[in-house]
Amino acid sequence: MAEALPYDFLALLPFGVILSAPDGSLVHANPLARHLLGRHQPIGVGSDGRLTADQGPATRRLREAVREVAGGEKARVVWQGSLASGPRQAVVVRAVGAHNGGAPVAAIFVADPRSLPREATLRELHGLTPAESRVALEMLQGHSVAQAARRLGISPNTVKTQLQRVFEKLQVSRQTEMVRLLMDPVGNL
Question: Domains, the chain, ranges and CATH?
Answer: 8-110 (3.30.450.20), 119-184 (1.10.10.10)
Q: Are the CB atoms for 106 and 91 separated by under 8 Å?
A: no
User: Is pLDDT above 50 for 188?
Assistant: no
Confidence at residue 2, expressed as pLDDT on a 0 to 100 scale: 41
3-state SS class at 114: coil
pLDDT tens digits for 131-184? 999 999 999 888 899 999 999 999 999 999 999 999 999 999 998 888 878 876
Confidence at residue 135, expressed as pLDDT on a 0 to 100 scale: 96
Structure-derived torsion over alpha carbons of residues 60, 43, 73, 100, reported in degrees to the nearest 10:
-120
3-state helix, strand, coil in the chain (%, to 5): 45, 20, 35
pLDDT tens digits for 79-120? 766 555 555 566 788 888 776 666 788 999 887 766 777 788
User: Is pLDDT above 70 for 186?
Assistant: no
Q: Please give the backbone phi and psi of residue 18, each rounded to the nearest 5 degrees, phi first.
A: -115, 130
Q: pLDDT confidence of 70, banded at 50, 70, 90?
A: confident
Average pLDDT of span 49-59: 85
More confident residue, 96 or 47: 47
User: Is pLDDT above 50 for 48?
Assistant: yes
- Single pTM value for the model: 0.61
Confidence at residue 89, expressed as pLDDT on a 0 to 100 scale: 63
Q: Where are the beta strands (DSSP E) in 2-154?
A: 16-20, 26-29, 44-45, 51-52, 76-81, 89-98, 104-110
